[in-house]
Structure formats: C-alpha cells, structure tokens
Structure 1
Amino acid sequence: MMDAGPFLVLSAVLIGGTVFGLIAKRMRLPAITGQIVAGVLIGRMGLDLFTEHSVSALHPITEFALGLMAVSVGAHLDLRRLKPMARRLLLLLLLEMVLVTGVVSAAVVSFSDLDWGMGILLGTIGISTAPATVVALVKETRAKGVFVNTLLAGVGLNNLACIFLFEITRSVLRSAAGEGGLDATLFTEAAMQLGEAASAGCLAAIAMFLIRRWVRRVELITTAGFVAILLCVGLAQHFGFSSMLACLFLGLSQANVTRHREEVVDSIFHSFEPAILAAFFALAGMELSLEHAAAAGVGAVVFFASRLVAKLAAGSIAMRLADAAPRIRDRIGLAMIPQAGVAVGLVVLLEEDTVLRGAVGETIDVLTAVVLTAVVMNEVVGPILTRMALKQTGEAGRERRGLMDFIREEHIVLRLQSSTMEEAIEELVQRLGNLHRLPAATREALLEATLKHESEASSCLGWGLAVPSGEITQAEKMKGVLAISDKGFDFETPDGEPLHCILLLAFPESERPRRLRILTQFAAVLGHDAEIRERLFTARSAAEVYEVLLDAELFEPAGEEDESHEETAAAT
C-alpha cells in the first residue's frame, strides 16, 4: 500500500478505468461496469494499492464530476419541449416518486438491518435511471417516436426528482443527527438549503449568459463553463447547501432561461467526458470493501428486485392513466431499468458526509456496497431490457435524416384561435418563434415573407391540406410547425373544402430544393391516402398526430425525384 501523491493515484485510476471500460465494451457490456471493476481491483477489495489518505486527495475530482452530471441532467429538461407530454410525464414522475421510493424503502427495511432513514435514502436513489446508457441505446438502435420522446424526458425528470428527494432526505437526517431529533425546523432548513442552491445555480447561469454575449472563442466559453460549475460547487461547500442541486439549477437555467445550453454542458462533455467519467466510476469502485460487499449481498438483491417491480408498476399505471398507446404503457417501465452515474454519485456524497457517518457509522459503507453492487446488476440487465423495449415498440430504426425530421411532438398544435388564414399564419409564426427562440426581427421578417407568398399564390394543396412557407435568413436548417383540426378551420379556400392541416415551413436559401420535395411528398402521401388523412385529421393528441406522420413515412429519407415529381413540385 502506497501513500502516493494525487497525480500518481489519478494516473492509475484513469488508466484502469479507461482500459477496463474498453474491455467491457468489447464484451458488449456498459463501460461503467468495467470502470467500477477497475476501481474494485485497485481499491480495498483488490490490490489495495493506495492509502485512504492518497485517495482522499482526489475528492475534488469526484465533486466536479458530480456537478457536471447534475448540470447535464438539468440541461436536458427543456420545459417548452415537455409541454405536449406534460400529462404522461407528470403521472410517470409522481408514480415513480411514490412507488419506487415506497416499495424499495419498505423492502430493504424488511429484509436487511437498515433503519427507515437509510431505507428512504435507498428508495430515493432507486428512482434514478442512467441517462447516458439510455441515450446510447437510443442512438445505437436509431430509435425515434413518441415512446423515445417520453422515455428520454422521463429519464431526465426522474433524475431531477431523485437528486431533489435525496438531498432533502439527507438534509433532514443530517439535521436530526446534529440536533438529536426531528422537528418542524428541520424541514424549514431543508427548504432554505433548496433556495440557496437554486440561487447559486441561477446566478452562475446568468453569469454564463453575460459572458456569452461578449465571448465567441470556443476555448474561452469552455473555460467559463468550468468556472461556472466550480463556482456552484465552491459556494455549496462554503455555505453548506447541496452542490448537486446548485448544478442542477445551473443546467435547468441554461436550458430554459438562456439560449446557449451548450456552453456549459456540451463543450465540456465533448472534450472531457471519457476521462472524467472513467476516473469517477473507478474511484467509486475503490470505495467497496470485502466485508461490506458480503454484508450487502442480500440487500443488493432486494434493492434490485424491488426497484425492478416498482419501475414496471409505475410505468404501466402512469401510462394507463394518461391514456397512452398500449405499446408505450406496457414497455416504458422496462426501458427505465438502467442505473449508473447519478446513483453512484449520491452514494459518493454519503461516503464523504462526516455528519451522517458520525451518526450511523459503518451503515453508510453497507449502503454504498448495496448501491454499487445493484448498479452493476442494473447495468448488465438494464441495457438488455431497454433495447428489447425499443425494438418491441417498433421505433427502432426510425431515426434517419428525412424530409420532415424537424417536426417533433412539441411542434404540433391541435387548437388554433384564428379565424382567417392570415391570422393562422401569424399564430403559427409566433409558435415557431417561441419554440426556437427566434428574435423579434426574425419573426417579423418570416411573417412578412410568408404572408407575401400567400397573397401571391394560395398555399392550399387540396384534400384539406395547406403548406404556407417563408424564407428565413438567420437559420441554417429548415424549421416548421403543424396545426391540425378535426372540425376544420373556418377559412375560405380555393377548392371550397375546409382545411384540416396546416404545415408552416421556415427555410433558409440553401433549403429551397428540400421545401419543394416536402410539398411533393406531403401532397403525394396525404393526398392519395384517405385513411391516413382520416387518422391525421381526427387525432386526439400531438402524440397521435406524430405517430400518424411516422406511419405515413413522411419522415423517411427522400430519394432522387423523378421528372413527374419535379413537375408536381413546380406546379405547386
């Protein structure tokens, strides 16, 4: 056992985590499994290479990694995009918070020596799903659709709930340990800590926004992102509130208040994610000891089994209450089994919590062993179940560059307040501008161009379809929104038939050929298939509209148009 310097320890951890992560991938296992195994081999259960003093010097790295993961979770929760799925997601979130926390807590207390305080902490940890694993599987299977949208948003929200409930519970237990009992002031203190964390995260996000207005160089923006996370963690350590909650609010603010989520999250993850995560998970594996792993055997199995049952039940019940399609409600829980980074991060926080350790002693080591053992089980079984769910829903293989891949569930409107085509175009332009945060000048230019085009030639295609469009100069890609009415919009049309479907397109100069292909395919597919039109016009939700568009293959890649297609496009 060596009392080595931090750089030597970090080198060994990085080498071990990276090598074993690659080996795990070659064996078709998640990289995190190999990284935890590397830590186990380096740490107390294996070669026991370094003293506890040497390893403790790397705690700042684990704090930064935890902060970065929390920022990533918050930054993927764009509330504008969650609105069409609000009912499904709210029910899923509430049932996961209640069922998973309750079932896991009761099970581990009943079948282990843990008390209710530690049991509830384990229950809150059980809520989390591994976002990196789920995202990787979605990309690997090239999946796309309502199920995937619900899954990704649900994973982000359950991690948010997991961190929030865990930190509130930990704060109450810490206060109880210090004061010797529970009273109403403990919950007031927990609420104050939440407010402090939110303030720190929002202030850091505002600082990043101001810096972004003056800085354009990527390396300076990345440096500012590092500083923002370090500021949140440093303030949390100094004032005694949760660093993970502060970083979570930093990510949320970046996604929903400012326009530049990528400054803090994507720029840092793009360059440093492999090294940061390899070191973090290897260090987590080093926390395992042989005696505690043996004690955790039954507890880990109980945690794994009870969490699996609770996740399946929460997903199924929530989707039934939300009136989701059977293929979604029967498989959403199955897809949310993987568990990794956030769960590991939370037990690392417990390992470093001197107040709780002073109150409960080695119980924290047992809890750590339970979670780390269960994480390995969930990262072996979970990806298999998620991949199975994606394939069984029929959404695997749908993610391809297509003509209308810019339309997602949040871009679909079922209720327009307009009484004329011009008013409808204005309402849809505002909707598009809000979704993409377009400046006021850009919105006005788009509205003017679209109305001018409409005055020169009607955008109605017949069959209840219309595709108004306008050129947008400050954009690189096509954008659009879609409005549907089962009763039909009360507008005058060239053919005298009521409009049921309006697709507004905003396109840059470079996308003119694509616009013509969209007009051609939109008219060809919907104009000649009465059954698809009927399903589209009578859809009861944005999710159902999205499903119809997928079934109609309007998101499929377009091949080279033949001469007749070009003539149709020109005529349109």
Structure 2
Amino acid sequence: MFAQLAAAAVLAVLAPVWHLSGRAAQRLQLPAITGMILAGVASGPQALGLLSPAGLLGVAPVQHLCLSLIALSAGAELHLPELRRLRKQVACITAGVSLCSWLLVYCVMRLLAGSIPFMRPLAPSDAAAVCTLAATLAVARSPASAIAVLKETEGKGPYCSLVMAVVVVKDVLLFAAFAVNVELFKAVGKSADTGMPLWLLVGPIVSILLSVVLGGAAGYVLSRLLRMRHGSIISIAVAAVGPHSSGDGHGAAAPHAAATPRGGGLLRLLRHPSALRLRPAVPLLLSGLTFGLAELGGAEPLLACVAAGLVASNWRGESQQGRETAELLAVDLARLAPLINALFFGMVGASLKLAAVRDTLWAAAIIYFVRLGGIWLGCWLGAAAGGTSAETSQHLWMGMVTQAGIALGLAQAVAARFPLWGPDFAALLAGMVVMNLLTGPPLFKAAVVSAGEARASSLPTAHTELTKRGSVKLARDEGGDPRRGGSLSPAAAAVAGGARVPLPTIPILDAVVPAASRP
C-alpha cells in the first residue's frame, strides 16, 4: 500500500511536467503527444527511474481510468442522426479502408514474423494473435487530430465532412473488432488445454453482448446526470446528507431541505456556482465504474465504455435535449483532455521497453508504409463503390493516416492482457503510431487546402443559433449567466461571441478543443 501511495504521489508531480513537455513539443512544431511520450520515457525505469516497474504496476488503475475515458470519448464523437446523409459513402469507404489496411498489414506481419525478435519463440496461436491484433490496430485513426487540423484551417465542405464521418465510424467499429479479437484468442488459448466445449464458442458472443448492454445502461445514466439542473443536484445532495446536516440537531430531514437554509455550510457550498465546475468528474467516474464492472463481469471494458459514450451522446437524437446533452458531454470531455492526455501518454512512455522499440523500429517502418498503401487502395475502392465525386476522393487517403491515443491505448490494453508478448507488441506499435502521428496531420492539412475547403466558411453555420442558445444554458449551469452579473465560461463565450463551427457534424467541438491540446 505504501509503495502504491508513493507512486501515486510521484505521478501527481510528474503529470504537470508531462503536460508542459507536450506544450514545448508544440512550440517545436511537433505533436503534443510526442513530447509527453518522450518525457514519460525520461521519467521511466530505463532513464531517470522516477517511476519504477513496481510503481508503474501500482498506478495501473490510473491508466485504466484514462483508457476508459478515451474509449468513452470515441463513442461520444459518433452522432448517428448526422450520418444519414452520407451513409452510403461512409459505409463503402469505411469498409474499403478497414479491409484493405487490415489484409495488407496482416500479410506483412506474417512475412516478418520470423525476423521480429519477440515473435520467433511464440507458439503458432500466439503468433496469429500478434499478426491479427497488429492488423486490427492498423485500422485505428485519431479523431482529435482531424478536429485540430480542421480547426486550424477552418476547413468546411464535402471533403472535410466525409473524412470526419469515416474517421469516427471507423474508430467505433475498431473497438468492436478489437473486443472480438481478444475474446477469440482467449477462447483459443483455453481450448488448447481443455478442448473446445460449447461455452468457449458462445463465451465471446456473450461477453460482447454484455459489454454493449452494460455500456448502454451506463450511457443512459450519464445522459440523465448531464441533464440535471443546478437545483436538482442540490436537492439530491441535500436529501442524501439532510439527516446529518440539519441545523436543529434532531437528525430529521425536512421534506424540502433544498429550499431551506438549514443545511449549514454544506448547503451553501453546494449552492455556490463553482460547485458545478466539478461536473466533468461525472463522465470520468462513470467511465471508470463502467470499466471496472465490465472487468468484474467478464465483459470487454473498452467496448462497454465506447457504448456508454455512444448512448449518452445520441440518447435523445436531434431533439433540443439531445443536442444539449451532447454539447455538455463534449465540454466536459474537453476540460478533462489535458489531464488525461498528460497522465496516459506519460505513463505510456514510462512503460515503453526501449530495447524492444530499437529492435523493432525497422519492422514498424515497413508496417507504416504498407498501411499507407492499404489506406490508399481502400479509399480508391470505397470511393468508387460509394459514388464519391472525383474531386473529393482524390485526396481522401491523406485524411486517414494519423494515429494517436486510441491506437496506443489499445496497444497498452494488449500489453496488460497478454504479458508474455504484449509489452514487446506495444513497443512495435508505438513506433508505427509515432510515424503516423508525425506525418498524418501535415498530409491532412495539405489535402484540405488542395480540396479548396480551407477557410471556406465565411458565414455562420445552420447550428449557430442553436449553439448560442446552448452557450447561455452552459453559462447558467456554471453560474456565469451575464444577465446575472456573471461571465461566460471560455467554451461558451467562444460560441456566444459568434465563433464559426467548421464541423457541421460535431458543432460543439470547434468551440471546446483549444489549440494547446491538439495532438
């Protein structure tokens, strides 16, 4: 216990350092994630030793919490009603890119298996798991990086809308495919010793269904919590603590405790406008709880968190309440992003096996180029099948390259799930992800400019009035309504001030993703 507390204290000190390292990397025109990972490497057991291997193991729950929120954020970015207009093109391009990149990376991993050091001694079933999981993670993309590029270029148009739709759908499907892979390989590993009973065939299906049900329930609860008004939160809190906070000392809670001043200091604290600044803790804690329950119940934790974000963001569809809920969730996730990114990517760097990265860097470079070829071929086939215009499809592949947090997060999940070869696998994937992270954003930016959609939105979008109304609601929720003498939050002020929203499918993200947090 003492070792865990000491590691947690060191982590609390290192988190701001990792965040500042990301900011420094941005000043050098590098992705922030690169700076955080390098700072994590310097802090880890293979450099300064500020975090020992035992310490990293002790703070593993923190990494799981970060993973759960990353997965929830991926699900929350998929807005189902807004995909209907592009559903045929999105379906064809998503299928083309996913299948082509998966097949090509799987084949090259099979060819390289005898030359990659950590794969040589593996049993055939484990080697197949490495190849399949590497091919699956090659499908991953980074929605946050795409949003940052579109914000920088003020990109708007058919090309930008199509790329964002494909990126978000592809990453949500990625989590489902990852869960299927992991469950199947768990079943295959057990069958090698015990045969293949019926449960080993049905178990993966049950696990995935349980993940979806658990995540759906968590998403419903999250959507209800996000819609709670200030008074409702106070009423619930006072009702819970009323017997202990009554001013008369008799221990009886008044029926309308929220309306009386007898709650003492706690009630005044709950009524204070700054109390609602703790609202981002709601999705953080709920995602962590969902992750833990899924692990205890034998479900897939990351898939459950993706389902929770998907349901929370789409529960009410296109209704006013639905849009407000999606906007509130986006604001809360954006506020959490700097801390979560610093913790997660710093810990990824600290846990990297540098020797494995060095030994597999050549293989990562080969996989990087093969993945590029798969993306280009998949975009060409998918655009042709979906009837995408030549102007849009010409640069489509350039928007599908970047990888970041989702790919690294899943690689870390593999490292934890398969300790025999997982850490070396994570090191191999880290090399590929960093290459994609360095080259992807410049390629996408060049594609937006070439498509003629950079700085194209000179007028407010159709969502502007709705978003302005949402900003007033956000101000009221945070106690900053200017009509009452308060001030708007930075996110709400940006929207209320007439800021343009370059993404018609995810309007609130332009206002809440600051340039400083771009990957």
Q: 1:476 to 1:384 in 2, by over 3 A?
A: closer
- The code of the aligned residue for 1:379 comes to L
The structure with more radius of gyration: 1
Q: How does 1:106-505 map to 2 (within 5 A)?
A: 106-113=107-114, 114=119, 115-180=127-192, 185-212=199-226, 214-216=228-230, 218-219=276-277, 221-258=279-316, 259=322, 260-262=324-326, 265-353=329-417, 356-357=418-419, 361=420, 363-400=421-458, 402=459, 405-406=461-462
TM-score, structure 2 as length reference: 0.73
- Find the aligned partners of 1:326 and 1:187 in 2 and give their Cα distance: 45
Q: Displacement, 1:32? A: 0.5
Q: Displacement, 1:185? A: 4.6
Q: How many residues align?
A: 407
- Find the aligned partners of 1:56 and 1:189 in 2 and give their Cα distance: 29
Where does residue 268 of structure 2 map in the other structure? Answer: none
Task: Could you tell me which runs of 5 or more consecutive residues in structure 2 were left unpaired when the two chains were aligned.
Answer: 120-126, 234-275, 317-321, 473-497, 499-503, 505-519
TM-score, structure 1 as length reference: 0.67
Q: 1:226 to 1:74 in 2, by over 3 A?
A: same
SS in 1 for 2:280: helix
- The code of the aligned residue for 2:133 comes to L
Q: 1:221 to 1:22 in 2, by over 3 A?
A: closer
- Find the aligned partners of 2:45 and 2:394 in 1 and give their Cα distance: 42
Answer whether contact 2:101 2:135 (CA < 8 A) is retained: yes
Answer whether contact 2:56 2:351 (CA < 8 A) is retained: no
Residues 56-93 of structure 1, C-alpha deviations (whole Å, 9 max, x = no match): 22212211211111111111211110001001110112
Q: 1:291 to 1:476 in 2, by over 3 A?
A: closer
Q: 1:289 to 1:475 in 2, by over 3 A?
A: closer
- Find the aligned partners of 1:212 and 1:382 in 2 and give their Cα distance: 34
Q: How does 1:60-99 map to 2 (within 5 A)?
A: 60-99=61-100
Q: Which has the higher contact order (CA 8 A, sep 6+)?
A: 2
Q: 1:227 to 1:12 in 2, by over 3 A?
A: closer
Q: 1:183 to 1:383 in 2, by over 3 A?
A: farther
Q: Displacement, 1:3? A: 6.1
- Find the aligned partners of 2:373 and 2:226 in 1 and give their Cα distance: 46
Answer whether contact 2:223 2:325 (CA < 8 A) is retained: no
Once the two structures are overlaid, the 10-residue window that deviates more, 204-213 or 75-84, is: 204-213
- Find the aligned partners of 2:30 and 2:470 in 1 and give their Cα distance: 40
- The code of the aligned residue for 1:53 comes to A
Structure showing the higher helix proportion among its residues: 2
Q: 1:156 to 1:213 in 2, by over 3 A?
A: closer
Where does residue 248 of structure 2 map in the other structure? Answer: none
Residues 390-426 of structure 1, C-alpha deviations (whole Å, 9 max, x = no match): 11111111134x15x2179xxxxxxxxxxxxxxxxxx
- The code of the aligned residue for 2:382 comes to A
Q: 1:210 to 1:22 in 2, by over 3 A?
A: closer
Where does residue 492 of structure 1 map in the other structure? Answer: none
SS in 2 for 1:245: helix
Are 1:33 and 2:34 matched, yes or no?
Answer: yes
Answer whether contact 2:398 2:443 (CA < 8 A) is retained: yes
Where does residue 272 of structure 2 map in the other structure? Answer: none
Answer whether contact 1:111 1:302 (CA < 8 A) is retained: no
Structure showing the higher strand proportion among its residues: 1
Answer whether contact 1:222 1:263 (CA < 8 A) is retained: no
SS in 1 for 2:445: helix
Where does residue 503 of structure 1 map in the other structure? Answer: none
Q: Displacement, 1:475? A: 8.5
- Find the aligned partners of 2:353 and 2:426 in 1 and give their Cα distance: 10
Q: Displacement, 1:295? A: 2.4
Where does residue 103 of structure 1 map in the other structure? Answer: 104
- Find the aligned partners of 2:46 and 2:182 in 1 and give their Cα distance: 28
- Find the aligned partners of 1:84 and 1:201 in 2 and give their Cα distance: 27
Q: Displacement, 1:103? A: 0.8
Task: Could you tell me which runs of 5 or more consecutive residues in structure 1 were left unpaired when the two chains were aligned.
Answer: 409-435, 437-473, 478-513, 515-545, 547-572
Q: Which runs of 4+ in 1 moved over 6 A?
A: 181-184, 474-477
Answer whether contact 2:220 2:308 (CA < 8 A) is retained: no
- The code of the aligned residue for 2:142 comes to A
- The code of the aligned residue for 1:188 comes to V
Answer whether contact 2:104 2:374 (CA < 8 A) is retained: yes
Q: 1:32 to 1:184 in 2, by over 3 A?
A: farther
Q: Displacement, 1:12? A: 4.3
Q: How does 1:47-66 map to 2 (within 5 A)?
A: 47-66=48-67
Answer whether contact 2:64 2:288 (CA < 8 A) is retained: no
Once the two structures are overlaid, the 10-residue window that deviates more, 57-66 or 263-272, is: 263-272
Q: Displacement, 1:11? A: 2.9
- Find the aligned partners of 1:98 and 1:185 in 2 and give their Cα distance: 29
SS in 2 for 1:265: helix
Where does residue 273 of structure 2 map in the other structure? Answer: none
